[in-house]
Every structure is written in structure tokens, then in C-alpha cells.
Structure 1
Amino acid sequence: MDERHERIVELVREYGSLRVADLADHLGISAVTARRDVEALASEGRLDRVRGAVHWPGTPAPQGRTRQTLPEARPAERTPEPQDVVIGMVVPQSRHYFGEIVRGAREAVTAAGGRLVLGYSDYRLDQDAVQVRRMLEAGVHGLLLTPSWPSGTGGSENEDDIAVPAVLLERRGEVGTRAAGLDRVCTDHAGGAGLAVRHLVELGHEKIALVAGDSPTTVQLRAGYEAALQVFGVTAPPVEPIVLEAGDRAAAGMDAAAERLSVLVAKGEVTAAIVLSDTDAILLLQSLRGLKERIRVPEDLALVAYDDDVAALSDLPLTAVAPPKFEVGETAATLLLQRVRERAAGASPGARRHLDLLPELRVRASCGESAPDGLKESR
């Protein structure tokens, strides 16, 4: 806004007097905003305000309704005002994991006076392009994007088609692709897995299993899990990750995972498990209790859930790793708004930012420990 005010002062100094409507057209802003700007400048004594126009102090007030012809504004002069900025956001869905991310982004955009609009891909690559095109045709000033890359990492040459600033959310551009040159804000899922492994090792567990479905998060989670085990001298996981099925096979897959864990616990090959997500951890706990050879948590098996939407609501409150989902959305939107302002002002964007936000471990009862006073479920 300060830059726009200075431009208004420059124009009025150059032309002597101008209609407010001409200023609005030239700067690409609404008439209401132009009136508010000249009134603010007039209250500061920098310009003189008359009905429908503004003129330089000390010059005669314009007579009649003479119209000044202003040159077409340069793109840098057409700065989107905060209340005019529209940010597009394309995510797979707005439930479960992405609900809090969307909320964080919305609050950041709203606080800046802008508007957030959503598009959903339903984890379909073809819908990514459809939703991005729809957003661009609608005239958004920037895009928050979570492409449907199965591994969470990807990229293509299509990024050249995005004519507005864009920030990746919970996705990483593959090295060498144009997507790698975009700003991004992600959860450090590998680091989150490391927090879970450290906690279990400090409790005396080394035979730690990973239980997870097929998702972009799983790729990073497994990498962090294996790396953390090696840090503590466990050269290889005690067992291959136990895969949870999705869709129609989810219930049967959960029972199969529970049976597999039961056998491993009975053999002494596993004493703890990290489970993605907390909903699946609760379902797994229920399946374990329903087995003929009942597995007790935490006496026989310590459980850490990865995600913390409902982990505390289990009848046995689950220790959980909590990704900073709200902060991811908020940080990405704030960074994007900065890029929009830089572009509008014609300023150099500087170095791109690849930001990783670390999750938090919230200690509860499912590993058999009591959290120290003041740290239990700390936020």
C-alpha cells in the first residue's frame, strides 16, 4: 500500500490534478480503494481532495470534469491490494490430513485481507492440471499446490505453464525438474519418524516395526525410520514394514496386520510398532484385542501413532507424532503472499525457499510410560 500511495503522489505531482476514477483505472484498483487512498493522503496533507478528484497542494482546483489521459500502467504498478488478492489452493481433499493445512492457509490469507479458493484433485494427476487451469482462468494471483505424486516427489515441464507465483505444499520437486525450483513447505516426516524411534529406543525397544499403508507420507516415514534405527546401532529393521490395505480391503488388511504383529511379538521379534495413521493405530489396537492370543498394549507391544487427530481419544490414549499441519498451511500461504507482493511490485523474489517443519512427539500411555509433568501432550 505504501508503494501505491507513493505512485499516486507521483502521478498527481506530474499532472497537477486527476480524477479519482482515472487513478483507479490506471493503477488497476477499485474506485473504492482509490478514494480511500486519496482520502488518506489528503488527511496527511500530501494532496488536496475535491469532489471526484485530487490535486497537488498549492495548484488551482480543477474546473469542471476535465479528464486526464494517463498512460497504460506498467504491470508493476498494478499491485494487487491485500483485499483484492485471490489465492488458489489445489489439494487432494480437505478431510483428514489436509483439513488442518487448509485451515492454516485460509487463516493466513484471510488475515491479509485476501480470499482463498479451493480445488480438489482426489489424488488424480489429470485433475491436478484441470484444477490449476481452472484457477488460472479465474484470475488467481498465486497458487498453493499439492500434486498427486504417489511418492510425494515429482515434477514435469508443466510448471512453465503456471504464470503466477506457486508454492508446493507437502510435496517436493524432483531434483532436475522445474518443480524443484518452486518454493515449498513440507512436514519433515523423516524427522518425525526419528522422534518416534528415539522415544522407543530410550524406553528400551530396539525391535521396532513400521505399520503403514501406501502413501507419499510412508516414503519419507520409512526413510526416517530406517535411518534412525541405524543411528542407534540397529543395522536393519527387525521385519519388513507391515502394509495396511486401503479401500474395500482395509478391514481385512487390518486384521491381517494384527495377526502378523501377534506372531512377531510371540516370537520376540517385535516389541514396538510405529503406525501410520492414528486412526489406523486405534483400529489396529482393537484388532489386537480381538485376537485369540490377545496382545496387550503396552505390556506386550508399545505403540506410537504417526498423526495426532484422534490419538488422544482412544480408550488407551496413544503416544503420537503430530505433524504441524496448521503451521504448514499458514507458512506456505504467508510465503506465497510475499511472492505475490514481490511480483506485483516488480521486485526480485530472491532465493527460493525449501522449508521443512518438524513434527512434535506427544507422550501418552501406549508405550507404558508416564510423561513428565508439564510435558504430557505439550503443544
Structure 2
Amino acid sequence: MDVHERQQRILAELRLHGSLSAADFATRTGVSPMTVRRDLRELADDGRLRRVHGGAESVDASPYAALRHRPAARTVPDPLQPAAPLFTLGQVSPDPSYHFPPIVDSAVERARALGGRVVLGVSRYQRERESHQIERLLAGGVDALLVTTTVADSFEVLARLAEVTIPVVLVERSVEEAPVGDALESVRTDHAAGMVLAVKHLVELGHEHLRVLAYDTPTTPFLRQGLDRAVRQLGLDEGADMVGVNEVDGPGEHLRGLLEQAVADGVTALVVHSDHLAVDLTGVAVASGIDVPGDLSIVAYDDQVAALAEVPLTAVTRPSRDIGALAATMAFERLATTDTVSASRHVTLRPSLTVRSSTAPPH
């Protein structure tokens, strides 16, 4: 560890435990006691800790209310983090590919910066596997959980998570409509706001008749809410609708039929969820002689591969890395506070719009 990483580790440990022994910290991190004492002196001079005989005490007063939970420093080796981690976060993700890797990566980076580690469990959108991964992580003694449920309304899973005695943060999921789990915390993308961004962009270009094409995913209900909001705010009246896409049929004739119907209905712009579907649809459009964006503007919802389409796609970009980092931070803050009153936090982050070549004013 360099001096910055070492001092951040000292401050993280003080937040978790309230005090620190210089000799013990030196042994666990493999640095000299003299180096640790120098770090403590510098941090004390900056007012970030209080030196006491043999070590230091925290001067932080955390503004967050939470459960009393004080994990001990771990002894599990990590080749990327030689010092024993202060805490372990268990993270359950439904998919090791597409949208979730940047969320996991940023959670891992944030946990490491705070002196902890992440243990991953993948559910592959299978409810039984999801429950198994949660129980496995709990049995392994993780200090907090970051969980993305397989579907938005996994009430049975939420009820189980509400029973555990460690902090739980739902990732890209909400408990707003659930009858259980209201004490759980959450951080997610504001997908309704993302849809408003997409529709507003198209309306500002002059499109008056647009359509949303979407697979049925946990994101889709929020996209519908956003579309309804955009219709009200922008006065589209009957100028926007939403059509479900059959994921099983895949590209080809199914997408060609959706395109032909849109053109026949006078649609001049599409918002397409997800960007994998948008990439396929753009290829079918170009092959069918439809000029993108001359005849039809296309906005992808998600921005994992949108730039790689035959016509690089304007896309709503999720704040994936911010989601993962904030989820890990929220879990750590729950671990680090000594307050006894618990007020759950539900955070939504706005996506952004990345404009590329697939949108233009209608002819």
C-alpha cells in the first residue's frame, strides 16, 4: 500500500471500530510500526483522528443511522489486497455479463478502497439459485449483502432479507411496491427519468409520433412510467405508445414486422430496450432499405453495445459504476455507524443521454 491507501485504510478501520492499535495495525498490514506512527501523526495534525497511547481514536461522527454491527478484521488472504480485509460484502448478481459487470467491478473497487473485500454469488435469473447464493453468503459470515433480485417483485426473497441481522442494500431494485422489506436500503437507476430524457431528445428534434419497443424485464415498468410522464409533460397526447417485444423470436422476421408496422403507423422515432435489441433492429432496418436516422431515428435504452451498431446509436446510459460504488459505500456506512436509530435510504441516480448518429430531425 502507498501512503494514501494506507491512511485511508487507517481511517476506514477507525470508522468501523472506533479505535486502532498501531502495533496491531502494523502487524496485520506488513508495514513498520514507525511508518504507522508517522501516518497517525499526519492524520492527527489534519484533525482526522485523535492520537492516544499506543494508537488512535476516531473523531468522526457519522450522520447515518444504522444497526450496531462491528465486523472484526478478516484473515482470508486476497492476492490483490495483502492486508487482511476489515469487512466482507456478499454480492448477489443475476448475470455475470451485460449490465452487471461494471456494477460488480465498481463495488469491488470501492470495498477495497475502504479496506474490505467482495464475495460474489451469481443467480443467473433463477430464484432457487438466488436463494441458495444468499444463504451461502450468510453462512460464510459476510458482514453485509448487496443483492439484485432475479425479478422486481421477489417478495419471498425480500422477506428473507428483511430477517437478516446484517445490513442489506438492494441494487437496481426497489421496495416501493413490495409489501415486505421496507426497512431494506436500495440504490438504483431512475429509469423513468431515463425514458423522459430519451423522449424529450426526440421531441426537441421535431418528432411528434414515436414508439417504445421493449422486452419484458424488471426495468420495463419504470420505462412505462417514464413514457407516461413524458406524454403528460411534453403534450404528446396520442403521439407515443409502447409495444412489447417477444424475446424468444429474436431478430429477423419478427423485427422486420415491428419496423414495417411502425413505418405504416407514421412513427418517425423509436426508443428500444435493450441496446442489444436496438443493435439488431438497426441492422434489420438498414438491410430493409430504411435510412437511419433519415427515415427513422432510434434511441437505445442501455449503452453497453449501442456504439457498435451499424449506425452508432444514441443511447440512455445507466450510471452503472456509480450504482456499484454507492451500494458498497452505503453498506460500509451501515457497518461504520454506532447510532441505534435506523432510517432506511432509497437512492435513485439519473442516467444520461449519449448522442450519436442514429437520431436527427424527421424529414
Q: What TM bracket, shorter-length normalisation?
A: 0.7 to 0.9
Q: Return the offset for 1:174.
A: 4.2
Q: Return the offset for 1:39.
A: 9.0
| Identity in percent | 34
Partner in structure 2 of residue 64 of structure 1? none
Instruction: List per-residue Cα deviations over 1:244-279 (Å, max 9, x = no partner).
Output: 414xx3235xx32332222331342x1110001222
More divergent stretch after superposition (161-170 vs 175-184): 175-184
Q: Please give the TM-score of this superposition, normalised by the length of structure 1.
A: 0.74
State the alpha-carbon separation in 2 of the partners of residues 360 and 125 from structure 1: 31
- The alignment status of 1:284 with 2:281, answered yes or no, reads yes
Q: How does 1:105-120 map to 2 (within 5 A)?
A: 105-120=107-122
Aligned length: 317
Partner in structure 2 of residue 357 of structure 1? 349
- The alignment status of 1:250 with 2:250, answered yes or no, reads yes
More divergent stretch after superposition (82-91 vs 357-366): 82-91
Supply the AA of the counterpart residue of 1:322: T
Q: Return the offset for 1:315.
A: 3.1
Supply the AA of the counterpart residue of 1:118: L
RMSD: 3.2
Q: How does 1:164-313 map to 2 (within 5 A)?
A: 164-175=166-177, 177-236=179-238, 238-246=240-248, 249-252=249-252, 255-268=253-266, 270-291=267-288, 294-313=289-308
State the alpha-carbon separation in 2 of the partners of residues 348 and 38 from structure 1: 37
Does the aligned pair in 1 maintain the 2:202–2:269 contact within 8 Å?
A: yes
| Structure 1, unaligned runs of 5 or more | 10-19, 50-74, 370-379
Are the structure 2 counterparts of residues 257 and 222 from structure 1 closer, same or farther at C-alpha, using a change threshold of 3 Å?
A: farther
More divergent stretch after superposition (258-267 vs 320-329): 258-267
Q: How does 1:1-379 map to 2 (within 5 A)?
A: 1-2=13-14, 4=17, 6=19, 32=28, 40=36, 46-47=52-53, 79-80=72-73, 83-150=85-152, 156-175=158-177, 177-236=179-238, 238-246=240-248, 249-252=249-252, 255-268=253-266, 270-291=267-288, 294-342=289-337, 346-348=338-340, 350-368=342-360
State the alpha-carbon separation in 2 of the partners of residues 36 and 110 from structure 1: 21
Does the aligned pair in 1 maintain the 2:144–2:166 contact within 8 Å?
A: yes
Q: Return the offset for 1:219.
A: 1.4
Does the aligned pair in 2 maintain the 1:152–1:172 contact within 8 Å?
A: no
Q: Return the offset for 1:235.
A: 2.8
Q: Return the offset for 1:347.
A: 2.7
Instruction: List per-residue Cα deviations over 1:340-375 (Å, max 9, x = no partner).
Output: 122xxx433642111100000111111126xxxxxx
Q: Return the offset for 1:173.
A: 1.3
State the alpha-carbon separation in 1 of the partners of residues 239 and 33 from structure 2: 64
Does the aligned pair in 2 maintain the 1:153–1:173 contact within 8 Å?
A: no
Are the structure 2 counterparts of residues 298 and 136 from structure 1 closer, same or farther at C-alpha, using a change threshold of 3 Å?
A: same
SS of alignment partner, residue 295 of structure 2: coil
Does the aligned pair in 2 maintain the 1:90–1:120 contact within 8 Å?
A: yes
Instruction: List per-residue Cα deviations over 1:175-221 (Å, max 9, x = no partner).
Output: 46332221100000110000000000111112111111110111111
Supply the AA of the counterpart residue of 1:137: A
User: Which of the pair has the greater relative contact order for Cα pairs under 8 Å at 6+ separation?
Assistant: 2
SS of alignment partner, residue 245 of structure 1: coil
Q: Rg bigger for which structure?
A: 1
